[in-house]
Chains A and B, each alone.
Chain A
Amino acid sequence: MIELREVSKLFGREHAVDGISLTVASGELCVLVGTSGCGKSTTLRMINRLIEHSAGQILIDGQQIRSFNGQVLRRRMGYAIQSTGLFPHWSVARNIGLVPRLLKWTPARIEERVTELMELLGLEPATFADKMPAQLSGGQAQRVGVARALAADPDILLMDEPFGALDPITRETLQDELLRLQSRLRKTIVFVTHDMDEALKLADRIVVMNQGRIVQQGTPQTLLHEPADEFVESLLGGADRGLKQAGLTRVATLMQPLDPAQAKAKADLPTVGVDDSLRLALSLMLWHRCESLMVTSEDGQPVGTLAFHDLLRTAP
Chain B
Amino acid sequence: MSDAKQPANRVIIAMILLALPALHGLALTSVQPNRIVPGDAYRLMEIVGLGGALLLSLPFVAVLWLAWRPSEKRMRVIFVINIALLMALPWALALFCMSFVDADQPYARAGVGPGIWTLLFLLLLILIELRTRLQLSKGLQNMAAALVVGSLSLALISGWLEPLALAREYAGRREQFAAAVLYHLMLVGAAVALSLVIGFLLALLIRRLTRLQTPAFSVLSIIQTIPSLALFGLLLAPLAWLAARYPLLADLGVKGIGWAPALIALVGYSLLPMTRNTFVALEEVPPDVIESARGMGMSPWQVFSQVRLPLALPVLLEGIRITAIQAIGLAAVAALIGAGGLGTFIFQGLGQAAMDLVVLGALPILIMALIVDAGFSALAAYFRRGVVHD
Residue ranges of A at the interface with B (Cβ–Cβ < 8 Å): 48, 50, 71-76, 79, 81-89, 98-99, 102, 132, 134-135, 145, 148, 158
Contact = CB atoms under 8 A, between A and B. Distances in A.
Contacts, number: 67
Given A81-B292, A84-B292, A85-B288, 18 more contacts: A48-B295, A50-B291, A50-B295, A71-B298, A79-B295, A81-B288, A82-B288, A83-B288, A87-B293, A89-B310, A98-B298, A99-B297, A102-B297, A102-B302, A132-B389, A135-B389, A145-B292, A158-B295
Contacts of B288: 81-85
A132 B389 CA distance: 7
A250 B91 CA distance: 88
A71 B299 CA distance: 6
Contacts of A99: 296-297
Contacts of B302: 102
B291 A85 contact: yes
A300 to B, nearest CB: 42
B40 to A, nearest CB: 62
A60 to B, nearest CB: 14
Contacts of A83: 286, 288
Interface in B264-304: 286, 288-289, 291-299, 302
B387 to A, nearest CB: 5
B295 to A, nearest CB: 4
Interface of B: 286, 288-289, 291-299, 302, 307, 310-311, 386-389
Contacts of A50: 291, 294-295
B389 A75 contact: no
Given A85-B289, A87-B289, A98 B387 contact: no
Contact of A132 (B289, B296, B297, B387): B387
A71 B311 CA distance: 22
Nearest to A72: B297
Contacts of A74: 294-297
The 3 closest A-B pairs by CB, nearest first: A85-B292, A75-B297, A74-B297
B387 A134 contact: yes
Contacts of A82: 288
Contacts of B389: 132, 134-135
A116 B297 CA distance: 22
A82 B293 CA distance: 14
B316 to A, nearest CB: 14
A74 B386 CA distance: 27
A158 B388 CA distance: 29
B140 to A, nearest CB: 28
Contacts of B293: 85, 87
A89 B387 contact: yes
A87 B307 contact: yes
Contacts of B295: 48, 50, 74, 79, 81, 85, 158
Contacts of A98: 296, 298
A129 to B, nearest CB: 15
A75 B292 contact: no
A91 to B, nearest CB: 9
B311 A88 contact: yes
Contacts of A132: 386-387, 389
A145 B293 CA distance: 12
B311 A79 contact: no
Given A50-B291, A102-B302, A88 B387 contact: yes
A81 B296 CA distance: 11
A102 B296 contact: yes
A305 B292 CA distance: 49
B234 to A, nearest CB: 44
Contacts of B310: 89
26 contacts: A48-B295, A50-B294, A71-B298, A74-B295, A74-B297, A79-B292, A81-B288, A81-B291, A81-B295, A83-B288, A85-B288, A85-B292, A85-B295, A87-B293, A88-B311, A88-B386, A89-B310, A89-B387, A98-B296, A98-B298, A99-B297, A102-B298, A132-B387, A132-B389, A135-B389, A158-B295
Contact of B296 (A88, A135, A148): A148
Contacts of B307: 87
Contacts of B289: 85-88
A89 to B, nearest CB: 5
Q: In the complex, which of the residues A81, A84, A87, A99 has the most CB atoms of chain B within 10 Å of its own CB atom?
A: A87
Nearest to A70: B297
Contacts of B286: 83, 88
Q: In the complex, which of the residues B302, B310, B386 has the most CB atoms of chain A within 10 Å of its own CB atom?
A: B386
A63 B389 CA distance: 45
Nearest to A145: B292
Contact of A75 (B291, B296, B388): B296
Q: In the complex, which of the residues B296, B387, B389 has the most CB atoms of chain A within 10 Å of its own CB atom?
A: B296
A161 to B, nearest CB: 12
Contacts of A79: 292, 295-296
A99 B299 CA distance: 12
B385 to A, nearest CB: 9
Contacts of B387: 88-89, 132, 134
A86 to B, nearest CB: 8
A147 to B, nearest CB: 13
B93 to A, nearest CB: 49
Contacts of A71: 297-299
A84 B307 CA distance: 15
Nearest to B289: A85
A102 B294 CA distance: 12
A37 to B, nearest CB: 18
